[in-house]
Amino acid sequence: MDGKVDLGERVEAAALSKDMVGQSVTVAGWLQDTRNLGGIAFLLLRDRSGIVQVTCLKKKLGDETFAKMTGIPRESVVAITGELKSNDQVSSGFEILPTSYALIAESAAPLPIGVTDKVGVELDTRLNNRFMDLRKPQVLAIFKLRDILVRGMREYLVSQGFLEVTTSKIVAAGAEGGSTLFPIKYFEQQAYLAQSPQLYKQMLMGAGLDRIYELAPAYRAEQSDTVRHIAEFASLDIEMSFIKSEEDVMNILEGLMVHSLEAVLKEGKRYLEELGVEVAVPQTPFPRVTLAEAVGMLAKAGLEVKGDLDTEAEKKLGELMMAAHGAEMYFITKFPVEIKKNTFYAMHDSADPSLTNYFDLDYRGEELVSGGQREHRINVLISQMEAIGYDPKDFEFYLQAFRYGMPPHGGFGLGIERVLHMMLRLPNIRECVLFPRDMYRVVP
């Protein structure tokens, strides 16, 4: 009986149907658990789509085969062929009575971490054994939802006429200053890992592409060891031309968030239930408060803020916005030039030059997005560079695009992991990354 299984005929657990009852089917996956009651044993076989019960009868299989099948270590890879039966007492509604099996890869014992065990395991231990941790349905559900979220974002952007692009992640200069850049040796030159595709996005506006987006890794060498910071993350960046103001960019961002969260609710119900999480689609338009108004709200609540909002202030503002507007998502607008001083490409507000046409989108008290209207006039752009001590000669590759006709434009950068972190109410953003990178972790 051992070894007589054709994997070419394999059916995933979720694809088993009433039409197949009475037929011979082949399933394959990881042996999650075995419950041996003596004359009968129940094997739970797990694949990426779900779990199927295999019911082994000693009288039918014989003592030797029964002993072999029930003795397979947990998490071994096994293929089983047998007759599909209906069984209302099983969660899937089906069971398989095996006629042959193959032990494809036997698992070592003991397991480094349990897959179904209820015993809690520290996050560091889980990440050290990420390949095993990802076998847990609750962990896998996070990345199933990530896939749905990202597909929803792409669908929306394509529907709005955006073109997907890919820009270099090895750069000669940073878009936001050098303090958070990862330096690398690039042949005989000094180079850096890209914090953002910001400069390239703007150059593409000068090329006439008008509406572009990129989903790619970004890198920030921040000395932050918190539950909301990672050194490598997935950034969705968009840029769009011929805008009237930052409001055009904010409107696209609103549509993007609504469409992608609708997709999560429509296609990810099963995974949300696995995690025990409810997700709401925000109403549009999202509330808008200037930074000055936000600081005033916080002051009335007893929290004094000087300069930009820190983590405590962001969380408190999230509570206040929910109480005042019933809003989980909201814009903070009109950031002062002093706060955005390293963002030399930010357009200053024509009505008040001490402010910028820049905004953040926050979700439940955490920043998801930073963006705004860019400065497209080269003389003003150079002046803003020089005002903060940058040498325009270091950015000549970028400034060239502005010398030959640059339309008014704007855009934003959105952290995918930040969205997941807040949407799923996870305790640590590292839960949202397959193999996270932070101040201390470079393996696995």
Could you list the active site residues? Answer: 220, 222, 228-229, 367, 370, 418
β 182-186/409-415 pair status: unpaired
Task: Please give the C-alpha separations between residue 438 and each of 135, 224, 336, 443, in angstroms, as whole numbers.
Answer: 23, 8, 30, 10
First to last CA, the chain: 38
Which has the closest alpha carbon to 361: 285, 307, 424? 285
Angle at the Cα of 366 from the Cα atoms of 271 and 342, rounded to 5 degrees: 130
**DSSP calls for 4-68:** ---GGGB--GGG--GGGTTSEEEEEEEEEEEEE-SSEEEEEEEETTEEEEEEEEHHHH-HHHHHH
How far apart are alpha carbons 245 and 217 in whole angstroms? 28
Q: Which residues of 227-249 are buried (b: 16+ CB within 10 A; e: fewer)?
A: ebebbbbbbbbbbbbebeebbbb
b/e map of 251-269 (b: 16 or more CB within 10 Å)? Answer: ebbbebbbbbbebbeebbe
- Neighbour order of strands in the sheet with 189-193: 170-171, 189-193, 182-186
The candidate with the shortest Cα–Cα distance to 25, out of 16, 34, 35, 33, is 16
Q: What is the rounded CA–CA span in Å between residue 8 and residue 319? A: 54
Q: Does an H or E element contain 361, and which?
A: strand 358-363
> DSSP letters along 104-171, please?
EEPPPSS-SS-SS--S---HHHHHHTHHHHTTSHHHHHHHHHHHHHHHHHHHHHHHTT-EE----SEE
What is the rounded CA–CA span in Å between residue 43 and residue 71?
Answer: 11
Distance CA 403, CA 243 (A): 19
- What are the phi and psi torsion angles at 84 (to 5°)? -85, 130
DSSP code of residue 283: P
Short-list 380, 443, 36, 371, CA closest to 176: 371
Q: Which amino acid is at 399?
A: L
310 and 294 Cβ atoms separated by less than 8 Å: no
